[in-house]
Structure 1
Amino acid sequence: MELLLTYDVDTTTPEGRRRLRRVAKLCEGHGIRVQKSVFEIITDDQTMLQLTYDIEDLINTETDSVRIYRLPHSGTETVQTLGAAALHPHHSDLIL
């Protein structure tokens, strides 16, 4: 499944800034950052449930917001970009 995950973490406190870093690091382990707080993620149901659980464990549910959108099949391949935005190849080989 293809997902678009966005988050808005309240960073007015040191604890909030730590939560922001932890959420970003967690998302970086699952997908490609396409904007500062936006990730495109390709995953399966089990990993998506684990990701959701892990994020819920990190955030402050009273001040932070996370949205996860399920994209249609091949949704990341049909993105139109403007400006400095770049398309990222999700299904090609990853070189580390």
Structure 2
Amino acid sequence: MMVVVTYDISTIDRAGQRRLRKISKICQNYGQRVQHSVFECIIDSTEFATMKHQLLQAINEEKDSIRFYQIGNQYRKKVEQVGVKETIFVEDPFIF
């Protein structure tokens, strides 16, 4: 299934900057960055639970926010790209 993860991390202090890097690294382990604070992840329910747990442990709930959108398995019909970035689906082969 596709899960879209978005986050807004307060980076006013060094601790926030560390949290931002940690959140980004966790998301990179599960998916592909499609915007600065937006990741698309093709994962199963077990991976989703693990990723969500890791992310919730990493944020400061009083300063940060994170959102999870469970798009499902038919996501290709639900994703539309407009603009300069080319749409790349994670499971497609990369040919350069």
Q: Secondary structure at the match of 2:33?
A: strand
User: Once the two structures are superposed, what CA deviation does each residue of 1:50-91 show, in whole Å capped at 9, x if it has no partner?
Assistant: 101100111001111000001132314542222222211222
| Aligned position for 1:73 | 73
Structure 1: stretches of 5+ with no match in the other structure = none
Structure 2: stretches of 5+ with no match in the other structure = none
Task: Output the amino acid matched with 1:50.
Answer: T
Task: Output the amino acid matched with 1:41.
Answer: C
Task: Output the amino acid matched with 1:12.
Answer: I
| Aligned position for 2:51 | 51
- Contact 1:2 1:76 survives alignment (8 Å): no
Distance in 2 between the 1:77 and 1:27 partners? 23
Moved more, 82-91 or 7-16: 82-91
Q: Secondary structure at the match of 2:89?
A: coil
Distance in 2 between the 1:50 and 1:31 partners? 13
TM-score, normalised relative to structure 1: 0.89
CA RMSD of aligned residues (A): 1.6
| Aligned position for 1:36 | 36
User: Once the two structures are superposed, what CA deviation does each residue of 1:29-59 show, in whole Å capped at 9, x if it has no partner?
Assistant: 1001000000000101111111011001110
| Aligned position for 1:22 | 22
Offset of 1:94 from its aligned partner? 5.8
Distance in 1 between the 2:91 and 2:73 partners? 12
